[in-house]
Structure 1
Amino acid sequence: MVLRIFGLSIVVTIFSLIIAFLYGGPTALFLTLILGILEVSLSFDNAVINATVLRRMSEFWQKIFLTVGILIAVFGMRLVFPLAIVWLASGLNPIDALDLALNPPPGDAAYFADGSPSYETIITDAHPQIAAFGGMFLLMLFLGFIFEEKEITWLSWIERPLEKIGKLDQLEVVIAALLLIITAEFIAPDDERSTVLFAGLLGMVTYMVVNGLGELFNTDEGEDEDEADDERAKNDPRVDEAAAVADTELRRRSGPTDLAKATGKAGFFLFLYLEVLDASFSFDGVIGAFAITADPIIIALGLGLIGAMFVRSLTVYLVRKGTLSEYVYLEHGAHWAIGALAVILLYSIGTHVPELVTGLVGIVLIGAAFASSVIRRRNEPEGAKDHIEI
């Protein structure tokens, strides 16, 4: 199964490295490999979150995400997105923006002789609004999870109290808005305050709209299916009430059935949700790539083809193997990593944060969650208890 899931990613990696070598020699090959490793290390929490959403989707929408979604991730976020930023910020048309990217000023200069900014400079200058949008989207995702009442908790000493105060209506919106105001007032440069506020609010609204629509249609379709099941049970004299109760309990414990998985409009909005989520995770990787190289071809090969493909393969592996069901704290660790990434993105609006720090924070939190899951499985092989205290 491992080879079948990761086989395509390995082939794509070899192909990308060959293209990189033909494009720019050993240097381009090395930079492409580094960017691929960077993307995977920064996006492991992305894969875990993707898997938690993907397993709620029908097989059709899973295939759409793993085909159409990968094209959007590779070419949309890692190639077109940076060019679009340059296009909008400089007023250049897409062809001229690509030409600007492929022909940087000599040396490490940030500007050309005529005073016009380089491709890398334009991207870097756009970081505050990019970080504000992505940071607020991810922050809303983290707060929504941490305030939600859950059967299983990881850091129970903090998660249980947060669940209680999370019963206050729209608390996550209030907290996110306060953090956005603090970021704009005390962290963002003076000339970027209004831009950061606007981009952050847009990130919050995007999360609420996409997530809300997904939940709305998922609930509607789930209710329709439940009503249909009830009607079939009512008209079928062979249905035994005790057996029906037992079956309901079994389905509750074993996760969503095929009928319960999102289809139709619910699946579509979950697909949109995953794409926006992937974009938010990609921001730090795209911006961080410019600390290594500004060449869009190398960035597309490293971040897009190698990095994005391995993240997708890892997502599929987590879903197919049922890893999230076996290691129940991974989802918690991934959400805490998201919260940390959101804070880092907001902080980075005013102060540069090394990509190594961003990657290590996520790896440490998910690693700790995995270790806790292993301890739980050893001590409670039947999953008798809901959680262990940490």
Structure 2
Amino acid sequence: MWWQTGLIIFGLALLEIACSIDNAVLNAKILTDLPKKYRRFFLFWGLLFSIIVVRGSFPFFLIWSANPALSWWQVFLAIFNQSSALTASLMESRAWLLMAGGVYLHLIFWSWFLTEEKRFNFLVGRFTKKYHFLFYFLVLVLGGLLLWTTSLVNLQLTISALIGFGVFFIADGLKRGAYWTGTHLKKAKLGVWSKLVYLEVLDAAFVLDGIIGSFAFTMNLPLIIVGSGLGALVVRQLTVQGLPWLTRWTFLKNGALFSILFLSIIMIAESFGADFGWWLAPVLSFVGLTIFLALSMVHWKRKHYKK
């Protein structure tokens, strides 16, 4: 039904916007030094590359890697032609993909909650700053419980969970390195094209969270591309508009991370066979992001009127 498709696309776009807000702020700082024509280039041609190459190839690669018995062409046919035999093969691997993605997103949330500074932190900021090593303790406990549980159900789920843990630590290291480089890029004497290339690499480094989260909404690759593409368009436009606009949404990242927590729970539960319905992921994402968006607006108005 059209409204079902529309709600899924809307939820995917919201998730993409929320997950990319930190990246957008960093990009905006770099773009302030670029001439206007290069900003337009980043908005149009950079956006096409981001949607077609990055957001198109990443989910396709993830689906293909979860179906090693199929060639890339067979996966393509199963996605776009809905061939019954090939589609059945894809659905068999859905649980493995959901498990790996759910573990990855779950670690994303707890890494943020226990190790990063937060503007709105539910009175636990001092505790988490002082005892941030609890994140690694939590990884050991959750990892042990999850690996033990999955080993009782399906060995493939255990392997998928291990892949989720591995991908998180690799991606986390890459993102921290990319973010550190970006914060020092303004001081570096680099050319315009070098900075544009770096911005695209930075976008690719931060896009994985939203792409993995999209599988909690749907396994339909065209919908994922459209939804995340619309979100990327909004983020690019906000980036070009600059920091004053972006800094209004102080708590939006908090909403994104709590949405990611809900999505990770849905994905892990569904990998064990639970069925929550197609509407739960977009509704939870919408509610979580709306709450923190409203808090951001209230905070900005109070700060603005005090001046």
TM range (shorter): 0.7 to 0.9
Work out the CA distance in 2 between the residues paired with 1:316 and 1:267: 11
Match of 1:361 in 2: 284
- Kept after mapping to 1: 8 A contact 2:25/2:246: no
- Kept after mapping to 2: 8 A contact 1:136/1:203: no
Match of 1:157 in 2: 123
Work out the CA distance in 2 between the residues paired with 1:163 and 1:51: 23
Percent sequence identity is 11
1:1-390 equivalences under 5 Å are 30=1, 34-57=4-27, 58-59=30-31, 63=43, 65-73=46-54, 75-77=56-58, 82=63, 84-85=64-65, 88-89=67-68, 91-99=69-77, 102=81, 104-105=83-84, 118-148=85-115, 150=117, 153-166=119-132, 168=133, 171-186=134-149, 189-218=153-182, 221=185, 225=188, 263=195, 267=199, 269-287=201-219, 289=220, 299-300=221-222, 302-305=223-226, 307-319=227-239, 320=241, 322-350=244-272, 351-382=274-305
Query: Highest CA radius of gyration, 1 or 2?
Result: 1
Work out the CA distance in 2 between the residues paired with 1:279 and 1:304: 9
> How far has the Cα of 1:265 moved from its partner?
8.2
> How far has the Cα of 1:373 moved from its partner?
2.3
Q: Which amino acid aligns with 1:304?
A: I
Work out the CA distance in 1 between the residues paired with 2:58 and 2:247: 30
How many residues in Structure 1 have an aligned counterpart in Structure 2?
289
- Kept after mapping to 1: 8 A contact 2:20/2:207: no
Work out the CA distance in 2 between the residues paired with 1:185 and 1:160: 33
Work out the CA distance in 1 between the residues paired with 2:295 and 2:75: 48
Work out the CA distance in 2 between the residues paired with 1:309 and 1:127: 23
| CA deviation map 1:261-294 (0-9, x unaligned) | x94886465233123233223322342x4xxxxx
What is the aligned-residue RMSD (CA, Å)? 3.6
Q: Which amino acid aligns with 1:75?
A: G
Work out the CA distance in 2 between the residues paired with 1:46 and 1:199: 23
> How far has the Cα of 1:121 moved from its partner?
2.5
- Kept after mapping to 2: 8 A contact 1:210/1:269: no
3-state secondary structure, aligned to 2:275: coil
3-state secondary structure, aligned to 1:69: helix
Q: Which amino acid aligns with 2:52?
A: L
> How far has the Cα of 1:149 moved from its partner?
5.2
- Distance verdict in 2 for CA 1:44–1:180, change over 3 Å: farther
> How far has the Cα of 1:38 moved from its partner?
0.3
Q: Which amino acid aligns with 1:69?
A: S
Q: For structure 2, list consecutive stretches of 5 or more residues without a partner in the other structure.
A: 32-37
Normalising by structure 1, we get a TM-score of: 0.62
Work out the CA distance in 2 between the residues paired with 1:181 and 1:161: 24
Q: Which amino acid aligns with 2:264?
A: A
Work out the CA distance in 2 between the residues paired with 1:121 and 1:383: 59
- Kept after mapping to 2: 8 A contact 1:49/1:334: yes
Work out the CA distance in 2 between the residues paired with 1:328 and 1:376: 8
- Distance verdict in 2 for CA 1:127–1:206, change over 3 Å: farther
- Kept after mapping to 2: 8 A contact 1:130/1:199: no
Q: Which amino acid aligns with 1:212?
A: R
- Distance verdict in 2 for CA 1:48–1:95, change over 3 Å: closer
3-state secondary structure, aligned to 1:381: helix
- Distance verdict in 2 for CA 1:67–1:159, change over 3 Å: farther
